[in-house]
C-alpha cells in the first residue's frame, strides 16, 4: 500500500492562470447540475456560489443550516470538508485542468454553529505534471473572521473517459440527452 503525501514536490512549478480563465469577480456556473457542492438540481446540496479571484484563487460563502448538523447545533465536519473540496476542485477553471480529488487533508480548528456564514477561500499552490496542489480555508462570519477549517489537497488531472467509463450509465446518458446539465465556459468544458 502506497504511503501518500501532499507535500509539494521539488519539481513542482507555480500554477499559471490560463489566459482565457474567467475574469476576477466572475461567478462560476455549476460544472454539473446535480453536483452536491454546486448544482441547482441537487435538492440536498450545498448550492455553493464560487467567485473568481485576481490570481489562481477563488472565494465563496456557505451558510450553515439545520440540514448541515453533526452534533446538536453544530456543522458536520465531513460536510465542511465537502464545501472545501468543491471550492478547491473549481480551481481547475483557472488552470484549465480537469481534475479529481486524490487527497484532501482537513484541519478542524473551531466548531461551526448552525447559523454561521462561512467565508471560504481556495488557491492553487503548485503544479507538477498532472498534479495540482491547492489549499483553502473557511472563516467564521467574515472574510477575515477566525479560521474554523482549513485544507490541503492534491488533484490529479484526468481525461473525459474518467467520467464516461466510471460514471453510472443513467447519468452519462442523461447528459447526452440534455447537454445543459454540464456547463461550458467559452470553448472550455470542465469535467462533468
- Give me the residues that bind ligand MFK (CB under 6 A), please: 4-5, 31, 37, 85-86, 89-90, 92-93, 100-103, 129-131, 154, 156, 158, 190-191
C-alpha distances (whole Å) from 120 to each of 130, 135, 143 are: 25, 11, 8
CA–CA distance, 141 with 132 (Å, rounded to integer): 29
Compare residues 42 and 101 and give the one whose CB is closer to ligand MFK: 101
Q: Minimal distance in Å, beta carbon 145 to ligand MFK? A: 24
Q: Which is nearer to ligand MFK, 151 or 154 (CB)?
A: 154
What are φ and ψ of residue 128, in 5° steps?
A: -135, 100
**Cβ at position 10, least distance to ligand MFK in Å:** 11
Encode 5-31: b = buried (16+ Cβ within 10 Å), e = exposed. ebebeeebeebebeeebbeeeeebbbb
Please state, in angstroms and rounded to a whole number, the distance separating the CA atoms of residues 19 and 160: 22
64 vs 87 by CB, closer to ligand MFK: 87
Minimal distance in Å, beta carbon 86 to ligand MFK? 5
CB of 19: closest distance to ligand MFK in angstroms? 17
User: Nearest residue to ligand MFK, using CB?
Assistant: 89
Residue 156 neighbours by CB under 8 Å, 6+ apart: 99, 100, 102, 130, 131, 132
Distance in Å, CB of 192 to ligand MFK, minimum: 9
Cβ closest to ligand MFK, residue 14 vs residue 71? 14
Q: Which is nearer to ligand MFK, 74 or 126 (CB)?
A: 126
Listed in sequence order, the DSSP H helices in 41-160 are: 77-89, 92-95
Amino acid at each position: 500500500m502506497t504511503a501518500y503525501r501532499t507535500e509539494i514536490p521539488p519539481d513542482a512549478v507555480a500554477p499559471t492562470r490560463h489566459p482565457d480563465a474567467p475574469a476576477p469577480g466572475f461567478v462560476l456556473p455549476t460544472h454539473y447540475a446535480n453536483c452536491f457542492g454546486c448544482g441547482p438540481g441537487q435538492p440536498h446540496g450545498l448550492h455553493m456560489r464560487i467567485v473568481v479571484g485576481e490570481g489562481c484563487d477563488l472565494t465563496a460563502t456557505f451558510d450553515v443550516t439545520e440540514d448541515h448538523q453533526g452534533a446538536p447545533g453544530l456543522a458536520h465536519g465531513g460536510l465542511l470538508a465537502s464545501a472545501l473540496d468543491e471550492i478547491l476542485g473549481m480551481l481547475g477553471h483557472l488552470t484549465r485542468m480537469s481534475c479529481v480529488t486524490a487527497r484532501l487533508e482537513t484541519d478542524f480548528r473551531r466548531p461551526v454553529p448552525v447559523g454561521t456564514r462561512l467565508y471560504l477561500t481556495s488557491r492553487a499552490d503548485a503544479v507538477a505534471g498532472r498534479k495540482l496542489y491547492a489549499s483553502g480555508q473557511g472563516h467564521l462570519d467574515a472574510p477575515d473572521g477566525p479560521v474554523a477549517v482549513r485544507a490541503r489537497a492534491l488533484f490529479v488531472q484526468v481525461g473525459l473517459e474518467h467520467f464516461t467509463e466510471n460514471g453510472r450509465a443513467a447519468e452519462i446518458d442523461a447528459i447526452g440527452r440534455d447537454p445543459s446539465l454540464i456547463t461550458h465556459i467559452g470553448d472550455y468544458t470542465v469535467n462533468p
